[in-house]
């Protein structure tokens, strides 16, 4: 299995930012099945900033490994900004990491609904005690939705770290 060149470029850029800031990262992944962590670990030296990550495909795994509340899952569902916020915070705590990326979505071809169609992906980003979330709608087959999710997650974390760097150096 190989990492697409553009994904590897993003993972490398994220790794350089993490090294520059002396930060660690973890991932909590559902629909991407570890793809973000795979991209990060494709970069030589990634053990300096990635110690562990979590594939929590089931609700039970999200609860047991990431401390996602059952009430959150019942009220909002696994594919929700509320759930990925708890996934990101829980992963950061479980891995003792400074940063975390969490993702949960409906990659298809089945599983969509009127309110959450196939391609709906929620992402959570934990950065030193603060959490940001986003819900996006992606298009394409299962593989395309998963790959777009991975790239989007890496891009967003780069933007968050860059904004943090810019605000601390001004």
96 found inside a domain: yes
169 found inside a domain: no
CB atoms within 10 A of CB 74: 9
CATH label of the domain that carries residue 17 = 3.90.950.20
Per-residue pLDDT of 104-163, as tens digits, reads 999 999 999 999 999 999 999 999 999 999 999 999 999 999 999 999 999 999 999 999
Residue 124's Cα: distance from chain center in Å? Answer: 6
**Predicted local distance difference test score (pLDDT) of residue 86:** 98
167 found inside a domain: no
168 found inside a domain: no
Per-residue pLDDT of 31-46, as tens digits, reads 999 999 999 999 999 9
* Side-chain-facing half-sphere of 85: CA atoms under 13 Å: 15
170 found inside a domain: no
**Predicted local distance difference test score (pLDDT) of residue 89:** 98
pTM across the whole model: 0.95
Number of domains in the chain: 1
51 found inside a domain: yes
166 found inside a domain: no
What average pLDDT is seen over the chain? 95
Q: Which domain holds residue 65?
A: 5-161
């Amino acid at each position: 299995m190989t990492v697409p060149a553009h994904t590897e470029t993003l993972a490398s850029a994220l790794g350089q930012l993490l090294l520059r800031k002396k930060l660690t990262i973890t991932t909590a992944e559902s629909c991407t099945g570890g793809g973000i962590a795979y991209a990060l670990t494709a970069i030589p030296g990634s053990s300096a900033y990635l110690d562990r990550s979590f594939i929590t495909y089931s609700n039970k795994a999200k609860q047991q490994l990431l401390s996602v509340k059952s009430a959150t899952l019942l009220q909002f569902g696994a594919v929700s900004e509320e759930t990925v916020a708890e996934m990101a915070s829980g992963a950061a705590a479980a891995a003792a990491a400074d940063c975390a990326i969490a993702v949960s979505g409906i990659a298809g071809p089945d599983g969509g609904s009127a309110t959450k169609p196939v391609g709906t992906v929620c992402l959570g980003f934990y950065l030193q005690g603060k959490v940001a979330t986003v819900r996006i709608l992606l298009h394409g087959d299962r593989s395309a939705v998963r790959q777009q999710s991975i790239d989007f997650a890496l891009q967003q974390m780069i933007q968050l770290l860059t904004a943090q760097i810019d605000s601390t150096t001004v």
